[in-house]
């Protein structure tokens, strides 16, 4: 009884709505993919920075240079 109060809305141009939906989905997923690539790039660069920082911390000469810069 509750559902019978709703009327079915019919579009004259069903195909156009589908095309717009497909285009918007493609745009959305391309933006999502681009964001994912940027995130991976950022993580990769930060991983390289941390590796370099760990190498510097292990090297006694570099450690002294950094400590002298901090002081």
Q: What is the pLDDT of residues 15-56, one digit of tens each?
A: 555 667 888 889 999 999 999 999 999 999 999 888 888 877
Give the per-residue pLDDT at 41: 94
Torsion of CA 30, 34, 36, 40, to 10 degrees: 150
Q: Judge whether 4 lies within some domain.
A: no
Q: Judge whether 66 lies within some domain.
A: yes
pTM for the model stands at: 0.48
DSSP state of 71: -
Which sign does the torsion angle of CA 24, 29, 35, 38 carry?
Answer: negative
How far is it, in rounded angstroms, from Cα 19 to Cα 69? 61
Domain with 66, as residue range(s), is 16-70
Q: Judge whether 1 lies within some domain.
A: no
How far is it, in rounded angstroms, from Cα 8 to Cα 32? 34
Structure tokens at 27: 């745009």
Domain count, the chain: 1
Give the per-residue pLDDT at 10: 54
């Amino acid at each position: 009884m509750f559902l019978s109060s709703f009327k079915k809305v019919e579009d004259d141009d069903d195909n156009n709505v589908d095309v717009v939906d497909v285009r918007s989905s493609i745009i959305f997923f391309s933006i999502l993919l681009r964001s994912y690539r940027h995130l991976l790039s950022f993580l990769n660069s930060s991983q390289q920075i941390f590796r370099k920082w760990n190498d510097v911390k292990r090297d006694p000469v570099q450690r002294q240079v950094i400590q002298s810069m901090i002081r």
